[in-house]
Amino acid sequence: MSRLSRIIDELIDREGAFVDHADDKGGPTMYGITEKVARLHNFDGPMQHLPKSLAVQIYKDQYWSAPNYDRVSMLSMKIAEELLDTGVNMGIAVASRMLQQSLNALNVQGSHYADLTVDGLIGNSTIGALKDYLDRRQHHGELVMLKALNCLQGARYIEIAEARERNESFMFGWLHHRISI
């Protein structure tokens, strides 16, 4: 089994099978895939019948390859895995912006690499900045980046719960399952 397959299997385990929680604005999900996303991938049956193989393919296509997390994985599989998990839970643009924000905050006033445009699109500039960051911070750079990403993610969960009281139903689980220490 490839490392990506293992990561996706663990993600599906965290997400669970069929869920239709009244407080979830996203509606019914299967293996963490929303009905809206399933329909975009030509699945038209009841969500309870979404094949796991299709969920895996959606994760690979929409949440790994499309946002260029596969390119991030060439520099750091751990950072790419964190982006995948955050992207599934919050959206890939949010996860990608968090990486760009973190890289900007860690570039020592632009002396290590140029500030990035925080646009949620991982392209050559973001990949280049991440490579420069990891090259300069060989000791603990990956760990510090993971901490930065988790800090932003945790803060966003609190903002989401504050903005919509019904999201408090998910707060404990988000922090328990999504934020690493």
- Tokens for 123, please give them: 């392209």
Q: Give the containing element (helix H, strand E) for 111.
A: none
- CB of 100 within 8 A of CB of 120? yes
Angle between helices 168-178 and 77-90 (to 10 degrees): 170
pLDDT of the chain along its 181 residues, tens only? 799 999 999 999 999 999 898 888 889 999 999 999 999 999 999 999 999 999 999 999 999 999 999 999 999 999 999 999 999 999 999 999 999 999 999 999 999 999 999 999 999 999 999 999 999 999 999 999 999 999 999 999 999 999 999 988 888 988 888 887 6
CB under 8 A, 24+ apart: contacts of 108-117: 112/136
What CA dihedral angle connects 27, 30, 32 and 38, to 10 degrees? -80
Question: Cα 137 to the chain's mean position, in Å?
Answer: 23
Of 30, 10, 9, the C-alpha closest to 21 is 30
Please give the pLDDT value at position 176. 86
Q: What is the pLDDT of residue 17?
A: 94
The domains of the chain are located at 1-66, 68-181
CA-angle at 155, arms to 147 and 9, nearest 5°: 60
Strands 29-30 and 18-19, bridge-based pairing = antiparallel
Asked if 11 contacts 84 with a C-beta cutoff of 8 angstroms, the reply is: yes
pLDDT at residue 181, rounded to an integer: 67
Q: 27: how many CB neighbours lie within 10 A of its CB? A: 12
